[in-house]
Chains A and B, each alone.
Chain A
Amino acid sequence: MFIKNVKKIYRNINLGIKINRTDNTKLRFAQMLRIAFGQSKMIDKPIVGLLHIIVYLGFLIINIELLEIIVDGIFGTHRAFAPFLGSFYNFLIGFFEIFALLVIISVIIFWFRRNVINIKRFLSSEIKGWPKNDGNIILYVEIILMLLFLTMNGADFWIQQNAPNYNYIKAGSFPVSQFILPLFDGISSNIVFIIERAAWWLHIIGVLCFLNYLYYSKHLHIILAFPNTYFGNLSPKGKFSNLKSVTNEVKMMLDPNADPFSTSINHEISKFGASDVFDLNKVQLLNAYTCTECGRCTSECPANLTGKKLSPRKIMMDTRDRLEEVGRNIDLNNGKFKSDGKELLNDYISKEELWACTSCNACVEACPIGIDPLSIIIDMRRYLVMEKSDAPSELNNMMSNIENNGAPWPFNQMDKLNWKNEL
């Protein structure tokens, strides 16, 4: 099921326009290692950054234990790694336990941040409802999985000590779960065995369910952060793409010898800018799936900070929502998209939001995993201006000034050096 959904994500991302981000493999790899693996941008906010790193490391480290759990499950062994690792195994298990506890503490703090402390970026309208529940579900599942892990270890340890008839290998150190041992005293060893097995099963089932939940959740970032940073932008942030299709047309317009009716100029009717997810590039769509809805972008956005409607996080969430809608449409119509009369523009993202952007790149800078909401905003502006001539009237004035006198104001280009006379 997970693989089927991964394929869907892959298909949906491929609805986007091609973009070449395969150059510079070394730099890209380094960027991925630094930002995704090394979490370098998380610590811009030191406290939550640290907590996130704990949960992230906990996830990575405890997954080693998951490997053992799976091996045990397949081969019917118990603590299969213990005999090979000797005392290092004890160290590992102890280490896992400490991380499990740290994860629980971090996740509880996260829950308080989301639900009790009024943090502005968790209160915006775009994360009311499902996005908020999604966030909390993730936290609950993480706590439950960690508790199951500790219960399993505690019960195991109790059996090792009190029920030799189960022949549990005496392995592991249990710096955290040893404290729950008294809970098992007075219970028959059969029941403790059942608890241990139940925790084992629930843990592995929980992990598998969680894996399948990812597809529906913002939690996809635990996987997609890696490709997303790999394919991230390497150019200076101020560099906006130059539309090739426009270059061809402009060159033709400027060249007095060009014959507009010449057949050699291939008149592929291309659409300028973006009004729907099909017009965005693949990396922008990958960005949308990767977004964790943390809102660091929105909390740095000058437009949002001054009460305007624009929220870069909403741009990304809208893009994903629309892309998933298109994906479902394709599923229902035998692999072909059937027009549903909707678009990303207007039905999801309003013009008011788009025109409020100052293109300052604060959102791009703030994103811990290299998402670029600004490029989507600009692509949609391009559609509004070049396909619909739908710009605010003052901007039309500015543009006709540039066209007529080479400056955004109504001054004569011949006067451009007048300041010299004022020296």
Chain B
Amino acid sequence: MNNIEINTFSDLIRKGITPEILFWVGCAGSFDDRAKKITKSFATILNQADVSFAVLGSEEGCTGDPAKRAGNEFLFQMQALNNIEILNGYNIKKIVTTCPHCFNTLKNEYPELGGNYDVIHHTQFIKSLLNDGRLKVQGGSFKGKRITFHDPCYLGRANNVYEAPRKVLEKLDIELSEMKSCKQKGLCCGAGGAQMFKESEKGNIEINIKRTEEALETKPDIIAAACPFCNTMLTDGVKNKGKEDEIKVMDIAEIIKQAYDS
């Protein structure tokens, strides 16, 4: 993979270029080894589709989502106001992000604090690239594969985005098989509400294992995710079931990038 360009807003602005879109990478996408693969896939897609974009790099701070869900409104608003200052400083209008938590927070919770942007989830963005013909994919190695899609709570129920990721998958001539609880009724992976960062309370099974079991019931070749945290939880779940050699957990961006390559 050569000539993939990743620029920061500050670099481009210095050169007199104003990128159309900010790619908000998020903390998981920046630091978590598994999630970084999603980031790289999506950045590659943006390059291939000739999208004028940039990232914030070290100027990007946590949106404050986990702090807010944990109840720390102070910390959330500190993060939010700091981020808004930077975003407004660059006069950013349009943000695309691979993390539904960042997506939800930027889209819904920043406006009241002075941050008004057009915020798009990467599955929606990929869908529009495909629809506009800026990105062309064929089924390739995915043709006929059985894929089940896990709805991230903060994309689905929280923001009513159910169709975009499915529409993207359907472009690949795959066999989409739904889990018994999907869309509005989709079961959480167990990471939301700051649970990602703590041990769970006493119970009889971990939520991610339960969700993985539901996914395995559909006998998938691939479990598709659209959130770095769901991805981690389901990857762990599949490992726990000893199925990691047969069943892959992949982000929509990774699937599209791989389809494009093949």
Contacts and interface: CB of A to CB of B under 8 A. Distances in A.
A401 B259 CA distance: 37
B201 A356 contact: yes
Contact of A409 (B31, B108, B193): B31
Nearest to B74: A246
Given A395-B198, A407-B27, A407-B30, A419 B77 contact: no
B192 interface: yes
A391 B197 CA distance: 12
Nearest to B198: A394
Nearest to B61: A406
Given A362-B188, A406-B61, A417 B55 contact: yes
A365 B201 contact: no
B123 to A, nearest CB: 15
A385 interface: yes
A255 B6 CA distance: 33
Given A237-B157, A305-B210, A359-B192, 16 more contacts: A236-B108, A239-B158, A247-B77, A303-B203, A306-B210, A307-B203, A356-B201, A360-B192, A362-B186, A385-B72, A395-B194, A398-B194, A408-B27, A409-B27, A416-B58, A419-B25
B232 interface: no
B75 A402 contact: yes
Interface stretch (A63-71, A128-136, A376-384): A376-384
B134 interface: no
Given A303-B207, A378-B71, A398 B185 contact: no
Contacts of B196: 408
Interface of B: 1, 4, 6, 8, 25, 27, 29-32, 36, 39-40, 43-44, 55-58, 60-62, 64, 66-75, 77-79, 81-82, 104, 107-109, 112-113, 153-154, 157-160, 184-188, 190-207, 210-211
A74 to B, nearest CB: 48
A308 interface: yes
A246 B67 CA distance: 14
B117 to A, nearest CB: 15
Contacts of A347: none
A225 interface: no
A242 B153 contact: no
Nearest to B82: A254
A26 interface: no
Contacts of B25: 416, 419
A394 B199 contact: yes
B160 A417 contact: no
Contacts of B184: 365
Contacts of A406: 27, 60-62, 79
B132 to A, nearest CB: 25
Contact of A253 (B39, B44, B70, B78): B78
A399 B153 contact: no
30 contacts: A238-B104, A240-B109, A247-B77, A250-B81, A303-B203, A306-B207, A307-B202, A307-B203, A352-B201, A355-B198, A358-B192, A359-B153, A360-B193, A361-B157, A362-B186, A365-B184, A366-B185, A381-B71, A382-B73, A386-B71, A386-B73, A399-B72, A402-B67, A403-B75, A409-B31, A413-B58, A416-B31, A417-B30, A419-B36, A423-B1
Nearest to B30: A416
Contacts of B81: 250-251, 254
Given A360-B188, A416-B57, A408 B66 contact: yes
A419 B112 CA distance: 32
A402 B73 contact: no
B185 A239 contact: no
A253 B191 CA distance: 31
Given A247-B77, A402-B66, A419-B36, A305 B187 contact: yes
B78 A300 contact: no
A362 B187 contact: yes
B75 A399 contact: yes
A423 B193 CA distance: 32
Contacts of A249: 74
Nearest to A235: B108
A327 B81 CA distance: 40
Contacts of B56: 416
Contact of A302 (B29, B60, B79, B190): B190
A246 B77 contact: yes
